[in-house]
Every structure is written in C-alpha cells, then in structure tokens.
Amino acid sequence: MSGAAPARARTTRPGRRHDHVVRAGLVERLLAARDVRVVLLAAGAGSGKSTLLAQWAERDPRPFIWVSLDPADDDPAVLAGDVERTLAAGSLSPERPFVLVIDGAQVLRSPACLALLATLADNLPPACQLAIASRGEPALPLARWSVQGDLLRLGPEQLAMSREEAAELIGGEQALRPDELLLLLRRTEGWVAGLRMAGIRLREHRPDGAAAFGGHDRLVADYLRDEVLAPLGDDRARLLVWSSILDRLSGPLCDAVLGCAGSTAALREIARLDQFVRPVDRARGWYRCHPLLREALRAELRTHGAELAAELHRRASAWHETEGDPRAAIAHARAAGDGGRAGDLVWAGVAPLLCRGQIATMDGWLAEFREDEIATQPTLALAAAWCRLERGDLAGARRWSAAAEGVAWPGPLPGGPATVAAAVAILRAATGVDGLTRMAADAALGQAGDHAVGVWRSLCDLLGGVALRLSGDLAGAAAGVAAAERRAVTAPAPSFRVRALAQLATIAAESDDWDEAAELIARARAAAEREGLVDDVGDIEVCAVSALVLARLGQPADAARDARRCLRLLEARANVPPWLAVDARILLARAGLLVGDVTASRTLLRDGGRVLAGMTDAGALGRRLQETLLRAEAFPLAGIVAAAPLSRAELRVLRFLPTHLSYREIGERLHVSQCTVKSQALATYRKLDVSSRSEAVERAVALGLIQEPGMPAPA
C-alpha cells in the first residue's frame, strides 16, 4: 500500500488560490517560533490550516516537506513508509534544516502511529521543526512539549479571522456595512470556511444579506454534515443533533436528554476529533458547539418532528430543575410548549429568592414571558407582583395581584400557600399600606391551610408579629416573631431570620431590656454576614434598632455610624414598606435624642410623618411618632442638653433610681457592693448635670433613658 502511486500526490504542498487572504500576523508568529520543535494547528475543517502552512512555507527559507495523510496512514507501517519516502524525495542534506508538515493528523488514532509521530518529533535534527495540522488535538505528549518550550499551539481562537481579514475575504469593506460584518464575525466566530460561504451567499445579492446567513443555510449545513458529522459516525452525530436544544453540553445532561448512558466519553472523544465542539470548563466537563454547527443541528432536529424536540426539552427541564438551575428549567419548559409547568417553576422560585433577599433575580425570568401569558397564569402573576413590590411599585404589585385573583386556580399553589387568595394576602401584608389591622389579618390569612409551611409560614409569622408590635402588643409580637425566627432556621430562610432577630431586638428595647436587645442585634449581624445579606431590607431594621441600642448604652459614635447606614439604605431603596420607613425613622429619632441631636431627630420624624400620611390605619405607629415628636419639640424648652454617654454599669444603676430601693438594696440586686453603686450613681449625676437622685430621674426620663416613675422595678 505504501508504494502505491497515489502516495506521491499526497506529498505536494497545496497551491495558493487567488482569493486566499494572507494571514500576515500568523505567518510572522510562525517565522518567529523557529526555536520550538513542534508546531500544532488544531482547528475544525475549513479553518485555513493548510493555507496558513503554505503561506508560511513561502516566507521561510527552509524547505518544507509535505505529507498529507488519509485513513490508510492509521497504520504504523504505512505511516512510516510515507514519511520515509517523503523525506528521501526531498533530497535533504544534514546541514540544511527543514520543516516536516504532517497535514490531516486527525486520521491517526492508533497508539502505535501516535507514538511514531511523537518519536519523530523528539528526534528531529537541530533547527528542524515538525508542523502538525489536525481537526482535533491528537493524543501526543503536548503537555510535555509545552513545558519544555517545544510547542507552539494555534487553535480556533488564533486561526479565527480578524475584522480586516474577513472583509478582504468576503469582498472588501465596501461590500458590507460595519454592523453586517460584525454580525457575520459573531456568527462564524471568524471561521474561514464560514466566512467564505457567507461571501458566496452575499454575491448572490440576496435581499436579506448577512442577516439571513446561518447554520440553517443549505450550503453550510451540507458542508458541516460532510466534514464534521460524517467522520464522527452515526451515534455521535445523533448525540449532537438531539442535544442541539442545549446551549451547553455535559455528559450527565446529555444522558438525561437522550435517555442513554456514555455521553461523557462520547463528548470527550468528539471534542478531541474536531474543534467544532470545544470544552468550556475542562474541570467540570462542559462543552459548546460552534454557533453555525448548533444552528445546522437544530435545523436537522426539526426534520424529525416537533414532538421529539418537545420531549427533549421536557427532559432537559427536569434535569435542570433537579440540578437547581430554575432559569434553564423554565426556558426548556417554555420551549416544550408547557406553559403551566413553566409558571409552576417560576412560582417555586419565589420563596427561595425571597428568603435570601434576591427576588430581583426573578425579573430576568419573567422577561421571557409576554404580558398576556403572565396575566392568564396566577403563578406568573403572583411572581410579577412580588417583583413589582421589590421595585417599590405598589400600584404594579396590586395590578398583578388582582390579575392572579381573577383567574380560577384548581387547588394549592405549588409549594404553597394553600390558595391564590392566601398568596395575595401575604403580598398585602408585606406592604402594610392598608393599615396595621389589615396587615395582621392578612398575615393570618396567609397561613390558612395545610400548605402554608416553611418559608411562607415564617414570613406570615414575621409580618403578623410586626403588626402586633406596631399596634402596641409587645407580648403577642414577641411570640409571633420568635416563631418566625425558629421557622426561618429550619426552612431555611436567612433573610427572614435576620429580620426576625432585628424585630426581637426592637421588642426587647421597647421592653427596656437593653442587654437582650444588644445580644439579638449581634446575632442578626452575624447571620447577615454569614449569608452574605448585604443591603437587604433586613439591614434597615438591624441598623435602626442598633443605633437606638448603641445610643442607649453610651456608644454615640457607633450609634451615629449605624444611623447613617440606615438612612442611606432608606434613601437608596424604593421597596421599603411604609410601616418600616416610619418605624425606622422613629427608632433613629429616639437615638438622636439620646445623643442630643434634636435637629436630626425632628427631620426624621417629619419625614416619617409624610410617609405615615399614606397609611390608612397607622394605629399605635402614629401615636409613637407623635409622642417622639413632642419629646423632640420639648427638648430645648426644658433646658435639656445632651447627656455624656453613660457606661453599661451606670445605666444599670440608673434603671433602679426611680424605685425606693437603697444603694445597698440596689447592690444586692446587681450583685455589687453598696460603695460601687454609690460611685456609679454619683458618676451618673455628673454626666446628667444634676445634683440629686430625683433630678437624675427627671432628666433621664426626659432623655428617654428610663421610663416614667411608677413602672415596675427592673428584675
């Protein structure tokens, strides 16, 4: 076989065509790489590998010895004979370096042939080079050669044509508008044969021009079928056709879509044989097809009928759902024509996103749906309502909530709540714009039925507890919010847990248990940092109560820091519920009074009053704001000045001063000596600028440091 006449023809260097573009930059790179032993050009069919080698040979003074392989060369005896005859025919002298070109190396699959090629490379005379052109990466010691500095590798990215080269190949800049040229470059990824075929179509003067060119074009499809798919064999070609519904391929995903096993090995082999399928994540085994190949494969899939494609999309959707990729699962469900399943998947994603403070992510999911699709599916309409609420668009949230209620829905929502009405009630409770009484009632309605568990029940407990606290029922609020915090741990719902801890801290502060409030704030901050919940709504609640507690515990600088952060968040976020906007400003105003910043407190309260005016039933929230405002207005009239920060020990003693307990009895309660209590009391007098116990009590009440006399003594 090796002595047959056709072997002689395969030693001829390719001739130069008149329409070939000179790849000057690549040629210069090859000329500058004379110190490497091996040059590998690995790219798919039609990438211009042979043409580039021929252009290199024209510029390099060394002789180029050319061997173009065919499948018969996948035999070590045939390969050795062809190379030996070619070298002998070249009339080479030992003193003159040469370049041996092995073109079409993708046909070499036997280990013996590959070992022969590696041996040949390792034993080349000095200043000689082995140039290998292959459609894939041959199983040669490329890593060793690369580490030794003996390898120059040019792949699809390097062989891709530049904008200028593409314009020259197609017919000059005047033939295409800049946007059309960029479109073709994006679709072909600079693939030489693809650009050449685009030029053919453009010269036919088609009215749609570059926009119509793609993998569905018969010229492109036929080329790819003959040059890419046919060499792979029927099974591998079928894998690519059926998996063409996917943007990225992996072994497990293709196994699920095709309903078979072995895709991991098949993809690895396909990528090795031809660079039209390339790895994008070698560590995890993900691949992608060239855009034109993917379009051609999808066109081929359409010839098998719509039902096959729909079934493949359904399988892909199920796999992505299992793997925790809801966006891809939704996209494939829609492509399968299963709008109901797509809506269910969207709604199932609301709770996880809510409990991590990431509901804005859903905007991207819903952007793929038409408004009429959203309006006719309660699951989609409810998701759209939450997205509008996230943006602070209360009118939009109400509109989509009404749309959800206007469509009949058979049974519970997937993943809860039990009914569409319950889901709408939770949305209303989250805004609180209809008043605190309605907020509490809506939170209770949201828990109706056996399906309101986990995340949704935690949110309902939290909102119900907030409504009770703002209405003045601290005991009921504590029970509800504590339940929310427990459920948020098991759900898990980290965002709700942070908010619940902040609300518990506020309840503790309003119950005059400042040490407990400080501990709860620390837990809330730790949970937020652990879960990466930065700039979440819960951060507003944490910073507001933290500013108050820190001011109360004599740390004005830290209190001011948290107050500034809280205000920045309030100003930056449009989605803050009205009740929270008012509540946070009241807490910050109280903190300002404790450190003597009356002007800032008044401004905060006036801003809160404007927000409060939009609530129909403010309840105790309105009374709290008015009481704080009256205290701020009376501040200078009573001659009150800012108190110097009191230490925690001094604050503990201060809490007992309104009682009739003696210093000795206070010391027994605090487990310190009578002398310690007396010294701390005197230090408190100095900081409050008073001279007696009664004056200290009066000044502390005015500053909000303690409650009115007559309240029960601290435990």
> Amino acid letter at 243?
S
Query: Where residue 88 falls among pLDDT bands split at 50, 70, 90?
Result: confident
Share of the chain above pLDDT 70, in %: 91
Which of 475-479, 552-556, 628-632 is the most confident on average?
Answer: 475-479
pLDDT at position 175, please? 64
Is the pLDDT assigned to residue 205 strictly greater than 70? no
pLDDT at position 332, please? 97
- What average pLDDT does range 22-28 have in this prediction? 95
Q: Which CATH architecture has domain 6-159?
A: 3-Layer(aba) Sandwich (3.40)
Q: Residue 285 CA to chain centroid, in angstroms? A: 20
- What average pLDDT does range 136-161 have in this prediction? 94
For residue 100, list its beta bridge partners: 65, 130
Query: Where residue 644 falls among pLDDT bands split at 50, 70, 90?
Result: low
- What average pLDDT does range 151-161 have in this prediction? 95
Closest CA to 290 of 167, 212, 210, 193: 193
Query: Where residue 572 falls among pLDDT bands split at 50, 70, 90?
Result: confident
- What average pLDDT does range 643-669 have in this prediction? 81
pLDDT at position 409, please? 83
* Packing angle, helices 394-405 and 420-431, rounded to 10: 170
At 1, list the tokens.
């076989």
Is the pLDDT assigned to residue 562 strictly greater than 60? yes
Closest CA to 474 of 444, 513, 435: 513
End-to-end CA distance of the chain: 104
Query: Where residue 26 falls among pLDDT bands split at 50, 70, 90?
Result: very high
**C-alpha span between 217 and 609 (Å, rounded):** 66
Residues 6+ apart with CB under 8 A from 388: 394, 396, 397, 399, 400
At 132, list the tokens.
């290998």
Please state the length of the chain.
Answer: 715
For residue 130, list its beta bridge partners: 38, 100
Neighbours of 308 (CB within 10 A): 15
Is residue 254 within 8 A of residue 263, CB to CB? The reply is yes
Is residue 41 within 8 A of residue 134, CB to CB? The reply is yes
**C-alpha span between 197 and 132 (Å, rounded):** 26
Is residue 294 packed enough to be buried (19+ CB in 10 Å), middle (13-18) or exposed (0-12)? buried
- 3-state SS track over 643-701: CCCCCHHHHHHHHHCCCCCCHHHHHHHHCCCHHHHHHHHHHHHHHHCCCCHHHHHHHHH
CA dihedral 529, 531, 537, 538 (to 10 degrees): -70
The CATH class that applies to domain 221-304 reads: mainly alpha
Is the pLDDT assigned to residue 273 strictly greater than 90? no
**C-alpha span between 243 and 254 (Å, rounded):** 6
> Amino acid letter at 338?
D
Query: Where residue 705 falls among pLDDT bands split at 50, 70, 90?
Result: confident
pLDDT at position 713, please? 45
Find out whether the peptide bond into 578 is cis, omega within 30 degrees of 0: no
Task: Concatenate the DSSP letters of all residues of 304-366 into one string.
Answer: T-HHHHHHHHHHHHHHHHHTT-HHHHHHHHHHTT-HHHHHHHHHHHHHHHHTTT-GGGHHHHH
Q: What is the pLDDT of residues 51-64, one digit of tens each?
A: 999 999 999 999 99
> Amino acid letter at 692?
S
Q: Residue 478 CA to chain centroid, in angstroms? A: 36
- What average pLDDT does range 310-331 have in this prediction? 96
Query: Where residue 387 falls among pLDDT bands split at 50, 70, 90?
Result: very high
pLDDT at position 94, please? 64
Residue 337 backbone class (left: φ over 0; alpha: ψ -120 to 50; beta: rest) = left
Query: What is the residue whose two structure tokens read 């679709």?
Result: 187
CATH 3.40.50.720 fits 648-703, yes or no: no
Query: Where residue 709 falls among pLDDT bands split at 50, 70, 90?
Result: low
Q: What is the pLDDT of residues 501-526, one digit of tens each?
A: 999 999 999 998 998 999 999 999 99
Is the pLDDT assigned to residue 14 strictly greater than 90? no
Closest CA to 713 of 672, 669, 679, 674: 669
Sign of CA dihedral 455, 461, 463, 466: negative
| Residue 539 exposure: Cα atoms within 13 Å on the Cβ side | 20
Neighbours of 249 (CB within 10 A): 25
pTM passes above 0.85: no
pLDDT at position 608, please? 93
- What average pLDDT does range 340-368 have in this prediction? 90
Is residue 64 within 8 A of residue 151, CB to CB? The reply is no
Which of 303-307, 533-537, 674-678 is the most confident on average?
Answer: 303-307
Lowest-confidence pick of 263-267, 305-309, 410-414: 410-414
Query: Where residue 637 falls among pLDDT bands split at 50, 70, 90?
Result: very low
Residue 171 backbone class (left: φ over 0; alpha: ψ -120 to 50; beta: rest) = left
The CATH class that applies to domain 431-634 reads: mainly alpha
Is the pLDDT assigned to residue 707 strictly greater than 90? no
Find out whether the peptide bond into 636 is cis, omega within 30 degrees of 0: no
Residues 6+ apart with CB under 8 A from 546: 505, 521, 525, 559, 562
Residues 6+ apart with CB under 8 A from 36: 129, 149, 150, 151, 152
Sign of CA dihedral 216, 220, 223, 229: negative
Is the pLDDT assigned to residue 157 strictly greater than 90? yes
| Residue 33 exposure: Cα atoms within 13 Å on the Cβ side | 22
Is the pLDDT assigned to residue 422 strictly greater than 60? yes
Closest CA to 570 of 604, 621, 530: 604
pLDDT at position 105, please? 94
Is the pLDDT assigned to residue 685 strictly greater than 90? no
Q: What is the pLDDT of residues 1-10, one digit of tens each?
A: 334 334 433 5
Secondary structure of residue 631 in the 3-state scheme: helix
- What average pLDDT does range 480-485 have in this prediction? 96
